């Protein structure tokens, strides 16, 4: 039988501590909420009151329930007030010496059977526990912010934490309506170990001026379905907090350079640019603590002004290819009012592409997203061909053939001979160097990457990839075309992975390494990222959907270009691909899909 926790203590009433107090009080548990001073106590009380008042205003909490919740909380100054609690959770700033001093004092104050827990997100629970005479009763209970909303709790056991303590805390999490994942004491645990490497990489990308803050954030939201872009998320977390977590993970986690805080991050923290809480971080906010972003000197020009900058007129578009991506791109351009010439390698392939486009458009009609007239007009704009020469008078060519450099270079050399001067030549490659394709022509200034995401008619993002030879006019034309298509175009340089894949796949690779090290299960890692970070899919779900062979190929490209040791493909990923376990398409990847 799990022990009954009738009263818990919470030390530290900042945003996280106040949220933890609310979680317990909402679930009928009496709470002693402790701060170091009257002023800090009142700030904590105000935070809790504000949160519960907002819940009432939104209809998520009745007034009587709010009043009962607040009545369960006893606000006190000083740790001595915790003498009779069954469990105490520490939620003070991420400084090891501070936490050790608090735990030493809690060890003195609390009754012998009390469990002492830390909400640390990155520090060693073991190092905290040794400040007490009861390390077997010390455990990590890592809530996620905002604690009343986020479902995940990471339960962190040390090598000496009692099994009974772990079981009692797991039962408590269930009582609180949380999903717990139980793990051992390792830097960053699950969620932060995977999240902060990705966030740090995004900061480095911005620092190198590879893409704007707006385009990096839009790319990850629209391309991956994430709730926030990485730089906006850093501002929400707090750049000082992010720096401390990364620095701790770097020192404790084997000094992986991916966790070494980006130099820009240290500079911003030193300058007091801490994110939302200071009113300025990667973005500028209306006031300290406000979520409202306001324009600053880095805010891009209005879209109309940017698009007016030398864009060429595009009326007729050629699409080369017969796969899923080519089919989707044909549909996108035709629905947007462009004349489209579809070129494939033979009449049979053209017939298949035509049928696929018709089927997709008909689905749009059935679902009420397209009228029959719009469908017929779109089909009427498409010409089906098996001859590249029919592209002689188009204004834009979009290549969507197989991801083999030799094939693309041969195609672009042919387009160079066939197409009229001034035509924009675009490749949809997701991993190959655009400059290699461009230099197969005599007009590299007219070549650009237009990386659509699959399925192209649905996904709102297009990565516009500029090489060092791409002209400003060509780039402006690409941006204007994306706008007319109703897509969000994000501009980046010609580097392996562009924005989305360069940030996404190292994160997925890190998850595979975590599984390979037997730190956690695929299910718990997926739970952690979905419930703790709001990701639409866990890393192993996503890998099985994308295909392990595709993921391995992209990761290899990133590693070969960047030569970053942390980007080396996980051996487990390579072994699974060698064994033919490629994900859903083969029936088995990280999970067995044949039994579902």
Catalytic residues: 121, 142, 154, 192
The answer to whether 79 and 49 have CB atoms below 8 angstroms apart is: no
Rg (CA), the chain: 28
CA atoms 171, 174, 176, 179: torsion sign: positive
DSSP β-bridge partners for residue 492 = 465
The helix/strand/coil state of 8 is strand
Residue 408 Cα distances to 413, 414, 428, 436, 441, angstroms: 9, 10, 10, 9, 11
The answer to whether 106 and 82 have CB atoms below 8 angstroms apart is: yes
Q: Virtual CA dihedral for 439, 443, 445, 450, nearest 10 degrees? A: -70
Say which residue the tokens 């303590």 belong to. 165
Pairing verdict, β 152-157 and 179-184: parallel
The answer to whether 521 and 212 have CB atoms below 8 angstroms apart is: no
Residue 62 burial by CB count (10 A; 0-12/13-18/19+): exposed, middle or buried? exposed
Altogether, the residues listed in the chain come to a count of 596
Tokens of 253: 């986690």
CA atoms 431, 432, 433, 435: torsion sign: negative
H or E element that contains 561: helix 548-562
* Whole-angstrom distance, CA of residue 449 vs CA of residue 492: 10
* Whole-angstrom distance, CA of residue 396 vs CA of residue 419: 9
Say which residue the tokens 């010439």 belong to. 341
The answer to whether 526 and 539 have CB atoms below 8 angstroms apart is: yes
DSSP β-bridge partners for residue 340 = 317, 382
**Residues in CB range of 480: below 8 A, 6 or more apart:** 307, 311, 314
Other Cβ atoms less than 10 A from the Cβ of 42: the count is 13
H or E element that contains 24: helix 15-26
Query: Using omega within 30 degrees of 0 as the cis cutoff, is the peptide bond preceding 544 cis?
Result: no
Angle 347-366/372-380 helices, nearest 10 degrees?
A: 160
């Amino acid at each position: 039988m799990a022990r009954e926790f009738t009263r818990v203590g919470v030390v530290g009433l900042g945003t996280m501590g106040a949220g933890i107090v609310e979680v317990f009080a909402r679930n009928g548990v009496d709470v002693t909420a402790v701060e170091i001073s009257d002023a800090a106590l009142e700030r904590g009380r105000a935070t809790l009151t504000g949160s519960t008042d907002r819940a009432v205003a939104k209809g998520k909490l009745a007034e009587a329930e709010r009043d009962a919740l607040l009545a369960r909380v006893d606000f006190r100054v000083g740790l001595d007030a915790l003498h009779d609690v069954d469990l105490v959770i520490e939620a003070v700033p991420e400084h090891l010496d501070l936490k050790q001093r608090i735990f030493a004092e809690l060890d003195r104050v609390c009754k012998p059977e009390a469990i002492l827990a830390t909400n640390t997100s990155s520090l060693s629970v073991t190092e905290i526990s040794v400040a007490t005479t009861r390390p077997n009763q010390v455990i990590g209970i890592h809530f996620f912010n905002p604690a009343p909303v986020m479902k995940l709790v990471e339960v962190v056991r040390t090598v000496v934490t009692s099994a009974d303590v772990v079981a009692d805390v797991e039962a408590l999490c269930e009582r609180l309506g949380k999903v717990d994942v139980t793990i051992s004491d390792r830097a960053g645990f699950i969620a932060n170990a995977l999240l902060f490497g990705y966030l740090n990489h995004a900061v480095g990308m911005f620092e190198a001026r590879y893409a704007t803050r707006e385009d990096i954030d839009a790319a990850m939201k629209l391309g991956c379905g994430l709730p926030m872009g990485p730089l906006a998320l850093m501002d929400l977390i707090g750049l000082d907090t992010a720096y401390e977590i990364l620095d701790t993970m770097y020192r404790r986690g084997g000094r992986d350079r991916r966790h070494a805080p980006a130099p820009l991050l240290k500079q911003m923290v030193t300058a007091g640019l801490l994110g939302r809480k200071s009113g300025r971080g990667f973005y500028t906010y209306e006031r300290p603590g406000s979520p409202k972003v306001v324009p600053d000197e880095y805010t891009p020009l209005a879209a109309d002004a940017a698009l007016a900058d030398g864009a060429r007129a595009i009326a007729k578009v050629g699409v080369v290819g017969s796969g899923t991506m080519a089919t989707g791109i044909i549909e996108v351009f035709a629905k947007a009012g462009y004349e489209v010439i579809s070129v494939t390698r033979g009449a049979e392939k053209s017939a298949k592409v035509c049928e696929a486009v018709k089927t997709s458009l008909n689905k749009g009609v059935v679902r009420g997203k397209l009228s029959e007239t719009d469908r017929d007009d779109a089909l009427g704009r498409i010409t089906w061909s098996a001859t590249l020469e029919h592209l002689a008078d188009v204004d834009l060519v979009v290549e969507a053939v197989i991801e083999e450099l030799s094939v693309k270079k041969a195609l672009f050399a042919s387009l160079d001979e066939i197409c009229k001067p001034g035509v924009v030549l675009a490749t949809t490659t997701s991993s190959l160097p655009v400059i290699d394709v461009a230099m197969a022509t005599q007009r590299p200034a007219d070549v650009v990457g237009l990386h659509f995401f699959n399925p192209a008619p649905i996904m709102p993002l297009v990565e516009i990839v500029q090489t060092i030879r791409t002209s400003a006019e060509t780039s402006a034309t690409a941006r204007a075309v994306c706008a007319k298509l109703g897509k969000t175009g994000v501009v980046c340089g010609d580097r392996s992975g562009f924005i989305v894949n360069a940030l996404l796949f190292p994160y997925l690779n890190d998850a595979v390494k975590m599984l390979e090290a037997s730190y956690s299960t695929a299910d718990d890692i997926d739970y952690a990222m979905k419930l703790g970070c709001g990701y639409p899919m866990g890393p192993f779900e996503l890998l099985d959907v994308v295909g392990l062979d595709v993921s391995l190929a992209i990761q290899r490209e990133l590693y070969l270009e960047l030569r970053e040791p942390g980007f080396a493909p996980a051996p487990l990923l390579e072994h699974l691909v060698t064994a033919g376990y490629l994900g859903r398409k083969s029936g088995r990847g990280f999970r067995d899909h044949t039994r579902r």
